[in-house]
Amino acid sequence: MPHKEAYFGEVIESSLTGFVVQSWEWDHAPLFGSLVMIRERDCILFGVVHQIVIGSIDTIRTPFAYRKTHEELKREQPHIFEFLRTTCACVIVGYRSGRSLLYMMAPNPPNIHSFVSPITPELAQQFFSCPDYLYVLQASNGSISHFDELLLALIAQSMQQGYLDERGLRLFMNTYVLIAGNEYRRIKLFARRIQHIVTL
């Protein structure tokens, strides 16, 4: 189990298809497209962050425009940040049971108050060795507002962190083409945008 310092938040909403994490610190949350994990029972659940919301925990004390920088506000009115919270919505893209990694919904949703952490490098390498997670993401397309944007963010982060190599990217694109079907324009535009990520 990861050290407690590796966790960034805990589950506050849960279902078979996804979960919502509240960050323990409002200004510390995973990036859009990040792969996160939950260790519980006898398995590890994997989720992709597809939405991040920052707002007030108090319906009366809502954020107000002060015309001051972040640094000025922290120095002069640090209490206003105590009412902020950040939540991340994640779609479940698979789970690991024993040594088997399955790209499908887990038998049970994660428990409320389960701790959530970024995926470890070892598990990330195993996760990205097969592009079948795209089928799970495609099945959740209706609940994801910007599907291709999420895929691009997922690719950019996984390549930047060394989890996805050129072979993995080819497998990704082959699977993406199968998912997109006969949407030629979409495939062409997506491939062009991926080239910008690869050359970064």
Q: What is the mean pLDDT of each run of 10 residues along the chain (200 residues)?
A: 72 96 93 95 93 85 79 82 90 93 93 96 92 92 88 93 89 93 92 82
CA angle 110-116-122, nearest 5°? 105
Q: Which two tokens stand for residue 115?
A: 């701790």
Count Cα atoms within 13 angstroms, Cβ side, for 92: 25
Q: CA torsion 101→103→109→111, rounded to 10°? A: 40
Q: Which two tokens stand for residue 49?
A: 């962050």
Instruction: Parse the chain into domains and list their residue ranges.
Output: 4-198
| C-alpha to C-alpha distance for 98 and 8, rounded to whole angstroms | 25
169 phi and psi angles, rounded to 5 deg = -70, -40
Q: pLDDT at position 109, please?
A: 95
The pTM assigned to this predicted structure is 0.89
Q: pLDDT at position 182, please?
A: 86
DSSP 5: G
Q: pLDDT at position 200, please?
A: 56
Q: pLDDT at position 86, please?
A: 96
